[in-house]
């Protein structure tokens, strides 16, 4: 079935029955016998196939109670003359409305002046029930929900055409340049940047929360060794799930906003520790204890690499983390909000969000972007490599964005960081970026494809000592703050998120074969 046919609303031809007809001079006895034989509940009286009248079961009952002789009475005397008719192409909804208005139960279907069928209210109601109904007010959303506003938020926004995004009322790039990750975390959770006293008390609150719960510690080795290959985000997903259980997270529907925020602070503080512990266990190393003297970002680097980081690297990673804390209604954030809308616990929402982030079209691109730079090898090979990849139907990882149709401000920030940190890789990436943008503009005109956050993310993280498999988990270490801010906002003013879909499969109800073959 093509798309057009699938979307077509049902019409009378889809449900009408073949007509049972009579001639005007046929007797009522003949008509009754024919109706009974055919199992019909009406007969259309015709002249040369044109409808003259209709006789229904109701007319037969009225006739019998009159006491007249059936064999001697012509059908034309008891039929309803000039019946209302419908065309085979009439839409079901319109016909139902017409029958309901006039109180008819049956109506002849006429095409080009000839009776071609009969349709009853029962037939119509049957299909009306099983066909997708179009309810007043139901809206058609574009594929991928592009451009659809589904909530009000005070957390932040992305202005794709302007290449600008903000957290609460502040430019996110400016926050990355001027503030610590803890300040931005506070901003997202409490609505404003902290004053010095708030900064101190927030640091005192979160630093002890970085420590792994005792009940979780012994479970991590089994998670790490569960698969032949170690996929850190998959391991993280499982670790967050058991952590939520160990910490006794309860459905957000059953707890206060303050309790939910406590859960959120706890999980955000703990996520870098979980990531570091899983990674080190897989290397055959003991997880490291968090260092309360270090900032959130520096402590993260310490727990993964095992070295107290160079301050430039710690600051670069902190700026990367700030720049990726939140980004509008991206897929993982939306996922977290959908799960929260069911009243589930915060752990369930974060596990779902990690699952969404793991997809290469969302958060799984930075190591692929670095692989691409490896594969290109030399700047002069870039053009041919990109042309080949696009000709083969491939996507250039780290380029394109659903919302940005101009330069992604995060990629501009990260390019600056990469250049500041220096190294051959950064210089190469800058050169290749230029070529990719030019080639994509030629091969995909009008699509406005530019480097996204993931293109330079890998370059920056690699320079700061993070291995490629830790790129997306590092993204999760910051984005969990954004997810949690959204979870808190969703829970505070909740309505279950439950859209609709249009059924486009074969029309039901198809009888279930019995007995089974
Ligand atoms: N390379 C080549 N062509 C591309 C790319 C790309 N990276 N991105 C989009 N296009 C093309 C598509 O082929 C399509 O072309 P067509 O019109 O000829 O079919 C057109 O641009 C539009 O593509 P869509 O898939 O409709 O764009 P959408 O907005 O749905 O997708 C996405 C955005 C998923 C990010 C896409 O650009 C992509 O796949 N990029 C590569 C993966 C990537 O970098 N992911 C990380 C995103 S950033 C983040 O999530 C944190």
- Percentage of the chain with pLDDT > 70? 96
On the question of pLDDT at 7 being above 80, the answer is no
Q: Give the residue, out of 332, 400, 440, 451, with the most ligand 1 atoms within 8 A of its beta carbon, to mutate for a pocket test.
A: 400
Residues annotated as catalytic (active site), given as ranges: 401, 454
CA angle 323, 329, 335 (to 5 degrees): 110
Nearest-atom number in ligand 1 for the CA of 408 is: 48
CB 397 within 8 A of CB 389: no
Average pLDDT over residues 117-143: 74
Rounded-to-10 torsion of CA 171, 176, 177, 180: 120
pLDDT reported for residue 8: 64
pLDDT band at 79 (very low <50, low <70, confident <90, very high): very high
Phi-psi region of 108 (alpha: psi -120 to 50; beta: other; left: phi over 0): beta
Nearest CA to ligand 1 atom 44: 398
pLDDT digits (tens, 9 = 90+) for 95-120: 888 888 888 889 999 999 999 999 98
Interval 33-44 mean pLDDT: 91
* Residue closest to 382 by CA, chosen among 453, 337, 435: 435
- pLDDT reported for residue 138: 75
Measured in angstroms, how far is the CA atom of residue 282 from the centroid of ligand 1? Answer: 33
In this prediction, residue 1 carries a pLDDT of: 40
Q: What pLDDT does residue 130 have?
A: 54
Site to substitute for ligand 1 among 395, 442, 455, 474, most atoms within 8 A of C-beta: 395
Token pair listed for 140? 């058609």
How many angstroms does the Cα of residue 401 sit away from the middle of ligand 1?
A: 6
Q: What is the pLDDT of residue 58?
A: 85
Instruction: Tell me how far apart the 2 most distant CA atoms of the chain are, in Å.
Output: 110
What is the tens place of the pLDDT at every residue in 243-280?
A: 999 999 999 999 999 999 999 999 999 999 999 999 99
On the question of pLDDT at 124 being above 70, the answer is yes
pLDDT, tens only, 396-436: 999 999 889 888 999 999 999 999 999 999 999 999 999 99
Q: What angle do CA 340, 342, 343 make, to 5 degrees?
A: 70
Smallest CA-to-CA distance from 242 within 344, 356, 348 is with 348
Q: What pLDDT score was predicted for residue 434?
A: 95
Q: How confident is the model at residue 22 (pLDDT cuts 50, 70, 90)?
A: very high
| Residue owning the nearest CA to atom 29 of ligand 1 | 402
**Per-residue burial over 282-300, b = 16 or more CB atoms within 10 Å of its CB, e = otherwise:** beeeebbebeeebbbbbbb
Q: Of the ranges 238-247, 478-487, 493-502, which one carries the lowest mean pLDDT score?
A: 493-502
* Domain range 155-498, CATH class: mainly alpha
pLDDT higher than 70, residue 303: yes
pLDDT of 214: 97
User: Ligand 1 center to residue 86 CA distance, Å?
Assistant: 49
> Is 182's pLDDT higher than 50?
yes
Q: Output the pLDDT for position 147.
A: 86
**CA neighbor of 490 nearest in space, from 342, 360, 305:** 342
Residue 132 has pLDDT above 70, yes or no: no
CA pair distance 197, 207, nearest whole angstrom: 16
**Cβ atoms of residues 349 and 502 within 8 Å:** no
User: DSSP character for 451?
Assistant: B
What Å distances lie between residue 269 and 187, 210, 296, 319, CA to CA? Answer: 15, 5, 8, 17
Mean pLDDT, the chain, rounded, equals: 92
What is the architecture, at CATH level 2, of domain 3-130?
A: Roll (3.10)
**Residue ranges of the domains in the chain?**
3-130, 155-498
Which residues, judged by CB distance below 6 Å to any ligand atom, belong to the binding site of ligand 1?
Answer: 144, 361-363, 365, 390, 395-402, 440, 444, 447, 449, 452-454
How far does residue 435's CA lie from ligand 1's centre (Å)?
17
What pLDDT score was predicted for residue 5? Answer: 44
**Fold equal for 3-130 and 155-498:** no
Band the pLDDT of 366: cuts 50, 70, 90.
confident
């Amino acid at each position: 079935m093509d798309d057009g046919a699938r979307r077509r609303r049902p019409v009378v031809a889809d449900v009408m029955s073949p007509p049972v007809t009579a001639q005007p001079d046929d007797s009522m006895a003949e008509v009754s016998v024919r109706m009974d034989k055919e199992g019909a509940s009406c007969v259309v009286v015709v002249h040369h196939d044109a409808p003259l009248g209709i006789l229904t079961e109701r007319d037969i009952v009225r006739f019998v109670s009159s006491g007249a002789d059936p064999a001697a009475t012509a059908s034309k005397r008891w039929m309803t003359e000039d019946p209302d008719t419908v065309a085979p192409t009439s839409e079901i909804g319109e016909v139902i409305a017409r029958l309901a208005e006039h109180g008819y139960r049956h109506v002849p279907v006429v095409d080009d002046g000839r009776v071609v069928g009969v349709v009853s209210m029962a037939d119509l109601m049957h299909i009306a029930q099983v066909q997708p109904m179009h309810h007043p007010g139901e809206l058609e959303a574009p594929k991928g929900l592009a451009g659809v506003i589904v909530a009000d938020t005070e957390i932040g926004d992305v202005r794709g055409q302007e290449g600008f995004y903000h957290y609460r009322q502040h430019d996110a790039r400016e926050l990355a340049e001027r503030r610590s990750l803890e300040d931005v975390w506070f901003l997202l959770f409490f609505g404003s940047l902290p004053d010095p006293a708030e900064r101190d008390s927030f640091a005192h609150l979160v630093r002890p929360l970085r420590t792994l719960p005792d009940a979780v510690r012994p479970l991590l080795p089994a998670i790490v060794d569960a698969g032949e290959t170690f996929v850190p985000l998959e391991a993280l997903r499982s670790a967050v799930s058991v952590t939520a259980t160990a910490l006794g997270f309860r459905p957000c529907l059953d707890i206060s906003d303050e309790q939910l925020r406590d859960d959120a602070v706890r999980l955000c503080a703990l996520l870098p520790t979980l990531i570091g512990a899983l990674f080190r266990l897989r290397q055959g190393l003991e997880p490291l204890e968090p260092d309360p003297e270090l900032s959130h970002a520096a402590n993260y680097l310490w727990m993964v690499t095992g070295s107290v980081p160079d301050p430039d690297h710690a600051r670069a990673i902190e700026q990367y983390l700030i720049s990726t804390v939140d980004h509008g209604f991206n897929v993982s954030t939306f996922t977290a909000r959908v799960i929260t809308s069911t009243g589930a616990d915060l752990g369930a929402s974060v596990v779902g969000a990690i699952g969404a982030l793991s997809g290469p079209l969302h958060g799984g691109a930075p190591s692929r972007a670095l692989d691409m730079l490896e594969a290109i090898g030399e700047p002069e090979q870039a053009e041919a490599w990109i042309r080949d990849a696009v000709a083969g139907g491939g996507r250039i990882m780290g380029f394109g964005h659903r919302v940005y149709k101009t330069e992604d401000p995060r990629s501009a920030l990260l390019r600056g960081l990469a250049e500041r940190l220096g190294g051959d890789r950064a210089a190469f990436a800058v050169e290749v970026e230029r070529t990719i943008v030019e080639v994509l503009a030629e091969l995909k005109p009008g699509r406005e494809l530019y480097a996204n956050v993931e293109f330079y993310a890998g370059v920056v993280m690699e320079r700061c000592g993070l291995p490629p498999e830790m790129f997306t988990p590092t993204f999760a270490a910051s984005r969990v703050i954004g997810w949690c801010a959204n979870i808190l906002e969703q829970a505070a003013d909740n309505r279950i998120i439950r859209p609709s879909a249009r059924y486009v499969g074969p029309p039901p109800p198809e009888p279930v074969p019995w007995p089974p073959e």
